[in-house]
Amino acid sequence: MSDVSYSVTPVTYESGGIKVNALLYKPTKLVAQAPSIVHHPAHRCAAKQYEWYLGKFAEAGYVGLSIEQRGYGSGPEGQNDRGGELQQGDIMNGISYVEALPFVDPDRIGVSGHSNGAALALIVAAKDARVRACISLAPKTDWVYTLRYAKNWKPAFYKRTILEISGGISPEEDPAPYVARSPITYANRIRVPVFLSVGTYDWVNPTYHCVWMQEALNKNGNTDTEVSIIEEVDHWFCRLHFLGYCFDEVTEPAIRWFDRFVKEAVPVRKVARDITGVRG
């Protein structure tokens, strides 16, 4: 469309033995050394389903990378470790891809995700020092707690999930793979600003997941956090009674967060040069 102020281009990059497919969002009015956002979708969702989100970031001047997750758009069909190290690596290698682009500022890259991707974004924010800020949309932050109560409440979900995560070994038998996929585990390692967003009618990942995450981050000294709880909205940001999607309520505060902590951030390498008295 002629009135769209960004372009969308399919791209690929190497990660964990596969070629990851992604969509690259590039603002029409691209400034030199632009900030960037790397986004991972919800479980089994496609990159193109997030144009409502990445498109708004592109309009705001961000270069966006929307990842096609492995098993459902990238690599062999069904090969997906449900938030494990393979998918974490796909985001980290996505960061490597965008930081190498000549029009991206490598010191101003943030991560984002929705649902399973939201948990991944938090974990990557803990592990990858290149991340300047994190946006986590409706994450599940504690897998052990979730599955303990899902066993009787949602038995089909319970069986499918333990098969995806550990080949069928329950968290009662071995909690390790579930703890490793729970962002709450990494709260003491996340030092970057974190924005969490969730709807009051999210029964997939209820609001307490975001609240718990913020409390854990604050307890560990990270006070650059915010939780946005959107009234009468479900896991997919659809308003109750099918009254439409609340995309603006998601994107606008998220962009403000990244504007503050990514776009307007002083580049890390510039700070290092100033401290040592060296000018690039």
CB atoms within 10 A of CB 100: 10
Instruction: Identify the CATH number of the domain defined by range 6-142+185-276.
Output: 3.40.50.1820
The predicted structure's pLDDT at residue 272 = 37
pLDDT confidence band for 79 (50 / 70 / 90): confident
Inform me whether the pLDDT recorded for 274 exceeds 50.
no
> Tokens 């409706």 — which residue?
138
Q: What is the mean pLDDT of residues 141-153?
A: 96
- Amino acid at the residue 28: T
Inform me whether the pLDDT recorded for 1 exceeds 60.
no
* Domain locations along the chain: 6-142+185-276, 143-181
Inform me whether the pLDDT recorded for 270 exceeds 50.
no
Dist. CA 28–CA 170, nearest whole Å: 49
Phi, psi of 87 (to 5 degrees): -70, -35
In the chain, pLDDT over 70 holds for what percent of residues? 94
Written in H, E and C, the secondary structure of the chain is CCCCCEEEEEEEEEECCEEEEEEEEEECCCCCCEEEEEEECCCCCCHHHHHHHHHHHHHCCCEEEEECCECCCECCCCCCCCCCHHHHHHHHHHHHHHHCCCCEEEEEEEEEEECHHHHHHHHHHHHCCCEEEEEEECCCCCHHHHHHHHHHHCHHHHHHHHHHHHCCCCCCCCCHHHHHCCHHHHCCCCCCCEEEEEECCCCCCCHHHHHHHHHHHHHCCCCCEEEEEECCECCCCEEHHHCCECHHHHHHHHHHHHHHHHHCCCCHHHHHHHHHCCCC
pLDDT tens, residue by residue, 23-53: 999 999 998 999 999 999 999 999 999 999 9
Q: What is the mean pLDDT of residues 247-271?
A: 86
